Amino acid sequence: MARYDVFLCFRGRDTRHTFMGNLYAALRQARLRTFMDEGVLKGGDVADTIIQALEASRVSIVILSETFASSRWCLDELVNILDCMKTKNQTVIPIFYNVDPSDVRNLKGSFGAAMVAHEDGFGKDNERLQKWRSALTQVANLSGCCLGTGSRFGYEYEYIERIVRSVTLVIPRYNIFVSFSGKDTRSFSGFLYNALSRRGYHTILNDGDQSSQSTTVGVIEKSKLSIIVFSENYARSPSCLDELLRILECKEMKNQLVCPIFYKVLPSDLRHQRNSYGEAMSEHENMMGKDSEKVKIWRSALFEVANLKGWYMKTGYEYEFIEKIVELASKISRVSS
């Protein structure tokens, strides 16, 4: 069974075509693998599939709407969700959609009427009914979001953005280290950092021109993905080149993923040390000596990284290029989970 980030529990009669559709789209846009039951039948293989999806999720969002408690299926699903919260440490986020949390907690209003209707069918002391009552009280005491109608309650998209942010804080995302030369790419690297951070990745942006090697090594080791933005002046910075060495060491020893970005330079410039990269290496040799072992190691590292699969940016809109890089990070996350 595929692993999901988010499981959505809701009453389709109240929310499917408006709020739920928009919430599902927003979660998917944030690259969160989200399970939403699109079917109508609730039994047999369908039920087994839904339970498996629930158990394979990290977060459950429960949309408590006016007729939620009228559905036996929704109530059974809620009981299972709270069981997963206890046994699998799953996070549960209740959304009170046009209902008061106190009505859910104290079984009043439509929730009280639904319980009375269930009592008529099952009997007041039915064990299943008691589990439903307990689950509603329990979920109403969890931290969640109250969403109503009318201007004083705000717009639905604002609540949806808040919910997505809450989920991204819960879902563990891996660390990403970004190495760059501030002389060339501070603006581009800043936008890349913001885009990755918005998706919930713990992103460390390090300007090699001003970096301290002692503080950088540990950060690189803890990262799962290193993005190296190669630009015209990258190789002129000894700190950038030392970062590159450490990144390639982690690639070899820790199976770290490395994504080179060739920002207005050619991979062949690194591979053959031509143009600004040839000039930079000559400058380092003048400073350290032509037979310097350090310069030889830097040259070897540039040749190695130039042969890795990466991204070459020469023309076009930067934001489109950044979106492709963020999508790559998301694909890595899906494969590794």
Q: Is the pTM of this model over 0.85?
A: no
Helix axis angle for 127-140 and 72-87, nearest 10°, is: 60
Q: Per-residue confidence at 59, pLDDT binned at 50, 70, 90?
A: very high
Decide yes or no: CATH 3.30.450.270 for domain 175-336: no
Question: Is the pLDDT at 104 greater than 90, yes or no?
Answer: yes
Q: What pLDDT shows up at residue 46?
A: 52
Q: Per-residue confidence at 226, pLDDT binned at 50, 70, 90?
A: very high
Question: Is the pLDDT at 57 greater than 80, yes or no?
Answer: yes
Residues of the chain with pLDDT > 90: what percent? Answer: 57
Tell me whether domains 4-170 and 175-336 share a fold. yes
Q: What is the mean pLDDT of residues 214-241?
A: 88
77 noted as active-site residue: yes
Each residue of 290-322: pLDDT tens digit?
889 999 999 999 999 999 988 888 777 888 889
What's 4-170's CATH class?
alpha beta
From 55, 66, 77, 232, active-site residue: 77
Q: What pLDDT shows up at residue 209?
A: 52
> What are all long-range contacts of 237-242, with beta carbons under 8 Å and residues at least 24 apart?
237/181, 237/208, 237/209, 238/284, 239/208, 239/209, 239/210, 239/211, 239/213, 240/179, 240/180, 240/181, 240/208, 240/209, 240/211, 241/208, 241/298, 241/301, 241/302, 242/208, 242/213
* Euclidean distance between CA atoms 222 and 285, whole angstroms: 32
Ordered by start, the domain boundaries in the chain are 4-170, 175-336
Each residue of 10-37: pLDDT tens digit?
998 888 678 888 999 999 887 788 999 7
Q: What is the mean pLDDT of residues 60-82?
A: 95
Q: What pLDDT shows up at residue 166?
A: 87
Q: What pLDDT shows up at residue 174?
A: 72
Question: Is the pLDDT at 219 greater than 70, yes or no?
Answer: yes
